[in-house]
Amino acid sequence: MRLLFDQNLSPGLVQLLADVYPNSAHVMDAALDQAEDRDVWTFAQEHGFTIVSKDGDFRQLSFLLGAPPKVIWVRLGNCTTHDIETALRSSRVQLREFDASEEAALLIVE
């Protein structure tokens, strides 16, 4: 599973989670940190990424367009990068099952 971290998440998550989610990226890595959500969506779709975001707009796109790409919506409120790293690490089995599912398009991590 390759994750694409949205602009509202720290670019440091790529390195922090490289052992669990190798070949992941941040939108900054693709010069998409100022891009519209639809552009990020298209990039993720074309390059086999799952989008990770705290932004509800990607949840809406998931409902509207379906997968791919899949979306992981992080709903932790005001939290640290460490909190997000911990949540994604502790949810890795759930994330792998989500990735393997043909029907699943959106996963909420709380």
**How confident is the prediction for the chain on average, in pLDDT?**
95
Q: Average of pLDDT values for 75-97?
A: 95
CB atoms within 10 A of CB 39: 13
pTM of this prediction? 0.95
CB contact at 8 A, 16 and 37:
no
CB contact at 8 A, 51 and 1:
no
pLDDT given for residue 77 in this prediction: 86
Q: What is the pLDDT of residues 20-57, one digit of tens each?
A: 999 999 999 999 989 999 999 999 999 999 999 998 99
CB atoms within 10 A of CB 34: 9
Name the residue ranges covered by the structural domains of the chain. 3-109
CB contact at 8 A, 35 and 14:
no
Q: Is the pLDDT of residue 105 over 90?
A: yes
